[in-house]
Structure 1
Amino acid sequence: MDFELSEENRAFRDMVRRWVDTEAPKAWARELERNEHDYPFALWDKFTAAGFHGIGIDEAYGGQGGDVMTQMILGRELARSLGGLAWIWGLTSFAGGKSIGVYGNEEQKKRFLPAMARGELRASIGFTEPNGGTDVLGALSTTAERVDGGWVINGEKIWCSSSHVADYILLLARTDKNVEKRHHGVTLFFVPAKQKGLTVTPLPKLGMRSIGSCLVHIDNVFVPDDLVLGEPGRAWYMLLPTLNNERIMVGAFCLGVIDGVLEDALDYMKQRKAFGKTIGSFQALQHYVADIATWQKAIELMLHNTAWLQSQGKDCGMESSMLKVMASDYAVQAADLGIQILGGMGYSAETDMQRYWRDARLWKIGPITNEMARNGIAERLGLPRSF
């Protein structure tokens, strides 16, 4: 059993790490996220120049290729400095290689994937509804009705990240109300975001600030048949494998946050002096960083194992949920200890600990709450459904 990255993956990791330190350092990340109303187009453009938008997109469609491990390495290294700003890459990556690249037809792949790989197309995700949260299917009130040549969609979505600057929204809607089970009769659309009938309202929030999370009101929006992804009515069956991938990606982002927290904590403890010596000699603080380093190693092993399972086409539903739960819990705990280690400076907007904490806190809630993920794990272990 080999727990080491391949030589190719190590080279890719080292390249991304150098790129992050040069092109997207932590000080710049703090500046980018100060104003939640300013989307960081400059960061998007740097990702474009580096070719990152093409990671995970097949070379046949203009991408860089790369399996799930390659994508997770990229996500981890970006989050070490950028925290939640790494989701700027993750959003379109999910809509591209993990969505259109998986269940789009050939025409849709040729139409959208090259533009995504070139950084010319931004996508958002519209699954969650205002009255739903994690109960995506139970609260799904957005509907799409058949008309000549396509569908007319009505409803509302919430927490649609970057939809205010998106070109398309990957949107879930109910197309059949007369179904036996609620996961039947739902369809996935790739909706043009800049058309009449779509009203996008940014929402103020604690973290993930400059990415922009929005309420999207959909009023009689027409979507042609060629923007339906996969078979109408069967979207949930298509989405399940990609939802595992999304949880693995969250695990990678959380691990990157833990990397950044540990890096900053050690630097500070080696320099800061109190009571006549550096605070790195204080036993309590040593225990804090020992815990953070232990969590880091545990999540790294879980991430590598789960990404390997996914890359082999094996069922990793339980493992991806376990990873998502543990990684987000530990990332928040690590950032909280990081604030404690830095004391007043940890609470200051002039350092990154508070930014890591604010961004990581969201990952305990989305894309699925840790409580609901635990319910799914328990059910896979043979216990009755609790919801």
Structure 2
Amino acid sequence: MDFSLTEEQQAFRDIVRRWVDAEAPKDWMRALEADEENYPYALWDKIAEQGFFGIGIPEEYDGLGGDVMMQMIFAREFARTAGGLLWVWGLTSFGGAKTISAVGTEEQKNRWLRPMAQGKLRVSLSMTEPDGGTDVLGAMKTHAEKVDGGWKLNGAKMWTTGAKAADRLLVLARTDKNVEKKHHGLTMFFVDAKSPGITASLLPKLGMRAMGSCEVHYEDVFVPDEDVLGEPGQAWYAMLPTLNNERIMVGAQCLGAIDGVLEDALEYMKQRKAFGGIIGRFQILQHYVADIATWQKTTELLLYNVAWMQANAMPCGTEANMLKMVATENAVKAADLGIQILGGMGYSAETDMQRYWRDHRILRMTPISNEMVRNTIAESLGLPRSF
């Protein structure tokens, strides 16, 4: 079975790679990431100018078209330098656009997909509850009540990345408390981020600092009926088709990070001298880069396989979970060895190894923890549910 890229996909990859090297070099990404107080609007503008927000959005809504393979190619190439700043693109393209494409009405698609494709609408995902973490459903306290012409939303969310810069917030809330199962009675709202009653405060964190993750409070926020995505009470079923795409996105980001780690490690090993020659001649460091290269190839094969399955409408939930688990753990291991190869310079904020580690350590816990991933894989093999 051949998962190599087609000529068209290779051409697109080369275009993205040239753009990344010219417009999003590592030193600029490093400087942007260090500024925790300011959202990287300049990077957003560069992505919009090139039209990359249109990847995956149908041409009839001003997008570039393309399937998950095309999105995966872009994510990998961009993450090689951007690391966690990939989500400047990903939150809108994978979060907002995928959800609206899957469950939005024709009017909603025309109203929102067009400005998304043009880079004129920023989306932030507001899902995680303060007491929830992975247990989104069990901890769901954010709720909405039906009122004339819409809904009144109350509650709080954590880790709403990019909230301060967002135009729209994708909010999951409970709209029916009398349900048999926790995933029933949930509704998805596409909330105007400037609505009265919304307050967002920054959460200092280890990595992806410039993305500005926030705690967001909703107090009697009015959401009109036309801003409900999908059927009220059926949000969980509407979200399911997008979950595999999210895990593929994470896999592509992690593979891009491994690409960057290996690139930087090899360059340093060929230039740095110690004990009378370049350090690239040391056997132990050669073993380190051999491990990184092997993790790179393992992640690549799994990513291409899962993306191909998704693009061909094949069931791949378990495989997507495997990809998420393997890719995130490989990226963190690779970045840690990269720091070891560079020694003191690997720990320095003047290089990118520490940034690759910081940006990707979080992905072992989100959007679902790797422990929970292992639980679901075991359950798919016929073992009893463990949670």
- Name the counterpart of 1:86: 86
Note the C-alpha offset of 1:241.
1.6
Conserved in 2, the CA contact under 8 Å of 1:58 and 1:97?
A: no
Question: Amino acid of the residue matched to residue 129 of structure 2?
Answer: E
Q: In the alignment, does 2:116 pair up with 1:116?
A: yes
Question: Amino acid of the residue matched to residue 252 of structure 1?
Answer: A
Question: Amino acid of the residue matched to residue 309 of structure 1?
Answer: M
Note the C-alpha offset of 1:59.
0.4
Q: Which 10-residue stretch deviates more, 95-104 or 229-238? A: 95-104
In the alignment, the residues of structure 1 paired with residue 86 and residue 76 of structure 2 have an alpha-carbon distance, to the nearest angstrom, of 9
CA deviation map 1:177-218 (0-9, x unaligned): 000000000010101111110000011000001011000000
Note the C-alpha offset of 1:96.
3.4
In the alignment, the residues of structure 2 paired with residue 174 and residue 202 of structure 1 have an alpha-carbon distance, to the nearest angstrom, of 25
The alignment's TM-score, normalised by the length of structure 1, stands at 0.99
Note the C-alpha offset of 1:154.
0.4
Note the C-alpha offset of 1:3.
2.1
> 1:135-150 residue pairs with structure 2 within 5 A?
135-150=135-150
In the alignment, the residues of structure 1 paired with residue 33 and residue 265 of structure 2 have an alpha-carbon distance, to the nearest angstrom, of 21
The alignment's TM-score, normalised by the length of structure 2, stands at 0.99
- Name the counterpart of 1:347: 347
In the alignment, the residues of structure 2 paired with residue 122 and residue 237 of structure 1 have an alpha-carbon distance, to the nearest angstrom, of 24
**SS of structure 2 residue aligned to 1:218:** strand
Conserved in 2, the CA contact under 8 Å of 1:190 and 1:229?
A: yes
Note the C-alpha offset of 1:314.
1.4
In the alignment, the residues of structure 2 paired with residue 78 and residue 136 of structure 1 have an alpha-carbon distance, to the nearest angstrom, of 30
Where does structure 1 lack aligned partners over 5 or more consecutive residues?
A: none
Q: In the alignment, does 2:131 pair up with 1:131?
A: yes
Q: In the alignment, does 2:164 pair up with 1:164?
A: yes
Conserved in 2, the CA contact under 8 Å of 1:162 and 1:214?
A: yes
Conserved in 2, the CA contact under 8 Å of 1:375 and 1:385?
A: yes
In the alignment, the residues of structure 2 paired with residue 6 and residue 375 of structure 1 have an alpha-carbon distance, to the nearest angstrom, of 35
**SS of structure 2 residue aligned to 1:210:** helix
Q: In the alignment, does 2:310 pair up with 1:332?
A: no
In the alignment, the residues of structure 2 paired with residue 87 and residue 96 of structure 1 have an alpha-carbon distance, to the nearest angstrom, of 12
In the alignment, the residues of structure 2 paired with residue 109 and residue 376 of structure 1 have an alpha-carbon distance, to the nearest angstrom, of 33
CA deviation map 1:233-275 (0-9, x unaligned): 1111111120111011000000000000000000000000010
- Name the counterpart of 1:178: 178
In the alignment, the residues of structure 2 paired with residue 278 and residue 355 of structure 1 have an alpha-carbon distance, to the nearest angstrom, of 25
Question: Amino acid of the residue matched to residue 199 of structure 1?
Answer: T
Conserved in 2, the CA contact under 8 Å of 1:184 and 1:234?
A: yes
Q: In the alignment, does 2:15 pair up with 1:8?
A: no
In the alignment, the residues of structure 1 paired with residue 328 and residue 235 of structure 2 have an alpha-carbon distance, to the nearest angstrom, of 27
Over the aligned positions, Cα root-mean-square deviation in angstroms equals 0.6
Question: Amino acid of the residue matched to residue 188 of structure 1?
Answer: M
Conserved in 1, the CA contact under 8 Å of 2:97 and 2:116?
A: no
**SS of structure 2 residue aligned to 1:302:** helix
Conserved in 1, the CA contact under 8 Å of 2:73 and 2:252?
A: yes
> 1:198-277 residue pairs with structure 2 within 5 A?
198-277=198-277
In the alignment, the residues of structure 2 paired with residue 301 and residue 97 of structure 1 have an alpha-carbon distance, to the nearest angstrom, of 27
Q: Taking every aligned residue pair, what percent have the same amino acid on both sides?
A: 68
Residues paired across the two proteins, number:
387
> 1:12-27 residue pairs with structure 2 within 5 A?
12-27=12-27
**SS of structure 2 residue aligned to 1:87:** helix
Where does structure 2 lack aligned partners over 5 or more consecutive residues?
A: none
Note the C-alpha offset of 1:297.
0.4
In the alignment, the residues of structure 2 paired with residue 214 and residue 316 of structure 1 have an alpha-carbon distance, to the nearest angstrom, of 32
In the alignment, the residues of structure 2 paired with residue 306 and residue 237 of structure 1 have an alpha-carbon distance, to the nearest angstrom, of 21
- Name the counterpart of 1:288: 288
In the alignment, the residues of structure 2 paired with residue 144 and residue 380 of structure 1 have an alpha-carbon distance, to the nearest angstrom, of 34
- Name the counterpart of 1:366: 366
- Name the counterpart of 1:382: 382
Conserved in 1, the CA contact under 8 Å of 2:195 and 2:222?
A: no
